[in-house]
Amino acid sequence: MFSISHAPILMVVTLLMTAFVVPLVRKNMRLAKGLFLGAGLIVVALAVLITLEVLQSGTMIYAVGEWSAPHGIELVVDAFAAYASLVVSVISFIIYWFIVFAPREVNYEAGYYALILLLSAAMHGIVMAGDIFNLFVFVEISSLAAVAIIAVKGTKESIEASFRYLMLSALGSGGLLFSIALLFMITGHLNMGYMRVALATTAGQYPLNLLTALAFMVIGLGVKSALFPLHIWLPDAHANAPTGSSALLSGLVVKVYVIAFMRIAYMLLGMDLFYILPLRQILLVLAALAIIAGSVFAIVQDNIKRLLAFSTVAQVGYIFLGFSLLTARAVEGAIWHILIHAIMKTLLFLAVGVVIQQSGYKKISQVHGLARRMPLTFACITLGALSMVGIPGTAGFISKLYLALGALDAGLVIFAVLILISSLLSAIYYFPLIITAYFGHDASPDVKEPSLAVRLPLVILSLAILFYGLMPSMLLPLVRQTALLITR
């Protein structure tokens, strides 16, 4: 009855059920918090089980309702889906822990938990979907929930930021739905495997249709994942959200749309089509622009959270760069970067959130000397910043190394140089924060460290950065298998 094969749908269903139960028990906050954390823990366990199963027996295909492929909806859990589920579930659980134990920043907490659970359910659905319309529905659920967890803060700036995010995200959804319509028109199926088989024959007959569909899909998913010219909503949205929301958004949500794009690329289009169309070159240029623009804009920021948000724009550029280079090591670097950037950015956002909650200071110019009052927090921020720059020994170095080596493998030396230049730019915008915090004069005597339960996720994430920096071999087979799916 409860065999491991049901685990994919059980992940989504557990999160959905908890999301519906939490508003019912909103009078009893302890029960709500317990359910919230319990659901996160169950999903982590299921993700680990799925990963072990996929490593052992290959791709799991789950037909919902016993209706299989061209008529029914399938969940296709291959190595990429298992890896992404693992990343999403573990990092989400750490963020849930922080949200439960940190001082509250929103008024209606039970609703906030329900929204975050819905967002997590949708993210798991996106990475496992095998049917393109199912993917679209999960993308919509996650977009709405992502906007809602920004707006729930209630301040003027957060409402305006979330409205702009909603409008642009709706444009992206419109584009994505239009591309799905065009693809349905030329293939007649909605299952990604069947669409790929059909495209092999009809792509030559309807080239204009396919090109338009791809253009709208890049724009649609590009707006949501903040690819360079379409990233306008991101700094305001991530900077004006509650702390847990910023960490969730920057660390996971943005990446999940890149994962959706990658899955559509290798499952629906097939990588041969990727080589024929000029999509690779366009994505390479946009990724390079994203890296440079994100870093340059981050240098001039004073508000710490806006700086981290612009840094996210640059890091998404890295993932697109790795994916578009299409050599084995570049793709592995991109997939590593999904995990490692999630760890680093979550650590940075949570630690900066702790600083803002404890001291009320939001700008770099205000935190001078604060490191003496909050040594553990600022040690974590320093480690996270060093990792984002790519200092050897930290996890960020591993992914940048793979990306640079992949660029050299492809013969495009300019991108390896670009990665080095962007590391230098990262140092330029991260080090003022650290230097001001450690070496400024101390002017705020009554700031202290947060409680132990709040410091725990920061410590765990820092240890993860060191662990992956020094011994990255634990997830290596999974990452290799994932990259093989893409590069073939």
Partner 1 sequence: MHDLILEVVNRLLLPFIQLFGMYILFHGHLSPGGGFSGGAVIGASLILYSLTFRFAKVKHRMDHDTSVFFEAAGALIYVGIGFVGLFFGYNYLTNRGVFPLGVPGQLWSSGMILVITLALGAKVSGTILSLFQELLEGGSDEHGTP
Partner 2 sequence: MALLERLYTNIYYLVAVVLFVIGFHTMLTHKNLIKKLMALNIMDTAIFLFFVAIGYRQGGQAPILVPGVEKFVNPIPSALILTGIVISVSFTAFALALVVLLYKHYGTLDSDEIIAIRGKKHV
Residues binding partner 1 (CB under 8 A): 1-2, 6, 9-10, 13, 16-17, 19-21, 23-24, 62-66, 107-108, 111, 114-115, 118, 144, 148, 151-152, 154
Location of structure tokens 């998913």: 221
CB closer to partner 1 out of 27 and 448: 27
Q: How far is the CB of 151 from partner 2 (least distance, A)?
A: 6
62 binds, among partner 2, partner 1, none (CB under 5 to 8 A by kind): partner 1
Q: How far is the CB of 187 from partner 1 (least distance, A)?
A: 25
> Please, are residues 306 and 319 in contact by the beta-carbon 8 Å criterion?
no
H helix intervals, 102-252? 109-128, 132-151, 156-187, 192-202, 207-225, 234-239, 243-248
Residue count of the chain = 488
**Chain residues that interact with partner 2, rule: CB under 8 A:** 133, 137, 140, 144, 147-148, 151, 154, 156-157, 159-160, 162-163, 166-167, 170-171, 173-174, 177-178, 181, 184-185, 190
CB closer to partner 1 out of 75 and 269: 75
Angle at 442 between CA 437 and CA 443, to 5 degrees: 120
Tokens encoding 257? 């749309």
CB closer to partner 1 out of 66 and 446: 66
177 binds, among partner 2, partner 1, none (CB under 5 to 8 A by kind): partner 2
Among 97, 105, 147, residue whose Cα is nearest residue 356: 105
How distant, in Å, are the alpha carbons of 192, 299, 350, 381, 456 from that of 347? 35, 20, 5, 7, 11
Tokens encoding 134? 């199912």
Q: How far is the CB of 163 from partner 2 (least distance, A)?
A: 5
DSSP assignment of 21-69, as one string? HTTTTTT-HHHHHHHHHHHHHHHHHHHHHHHHHHHHH--EEEEGGG--T
Q: How far is the CB of 238 from partner 2 (least distance, A)?
A: 16
CB closer to partner 1 out of 39 and 486: 39
Q: How far is the CB of 31 from partner 1 (least distance, A)?
A: 14
Q: What is the number of other CB atoms lying within 10 angstroms of the CB of residue 371? A: 23
Q: How far is the CB of 194 from partner 2 (least distance, A)?
A: 13
Q: What is d(CA 114, CA 112) in angstroms, rounded to the nearest whole number?
A: 5
166 binds, among partner 2, partner 1, none (CB under 5 to 8 A by kind): partner 2
Tokens encoding 173? 């959804």
Q: What is the number of other CB atoms lying within 10 angstroms of the CB of residue 204? A: 9
Location of structure tokens 């519906």: 20
CB closer to partner 2 out of 228 and 274: 228
28 binds, among partner 1, partner 2, none (CB under 5 to 8 A by kind): none
Tokens encoding 448? 């202290």
CB closer to partner 1 out of 127 and 148: 148
CB closer to partner 1 out of 23 and 440: 23
Q: How far is the CB of 100 from partner 1 (least distance, A)?
A: 18
CB closer to partner 1 out of 75 and 419: 75
11 binds, among partner 1, partner 2, none (CB under 5 to 8 A by kind): none
185 binds, among partner 1, partner 2, none (CB under 5 to 8 A by kind): partner 2
Q: What is the number of other CB atoms lying within 10 angstroms of the CB of residue 393? A: 13
DSSP assignment of 383-424, as one string? HHHHHHHT-BTBHHHHHHHHHHHHHHHTT-HHHHHHHHHHHH
CB closer to partner 1 out of 161 and 407: 161
Q: How far is the CB of 362 from partner 2 (least distance, A)?
A: 12
Q: How far is the CB of 103 from partner 1 (least distance, A)?
A: 18
466 binds, among partner 2, partner 1, none (CB under 5 to 8 A by kind): none
How distant, in Å, are the alpha carbons of 214, 266, 375, 481 from that of 273? 11, 9, 52, 21
65 binds, among partner 2, partner 1, none (CB under 5 to 8 A by kind): partner 1
Longest dimension (CA), the chain: 72
178 binds, among partner 2, partner 1, none (CB under 5 to 8 A by kind): partner 2
Tokens encoding 99? 């949200």
> Please, are residues 36 and 43 in contact by the beta-carbon 8 Å criterion?
no
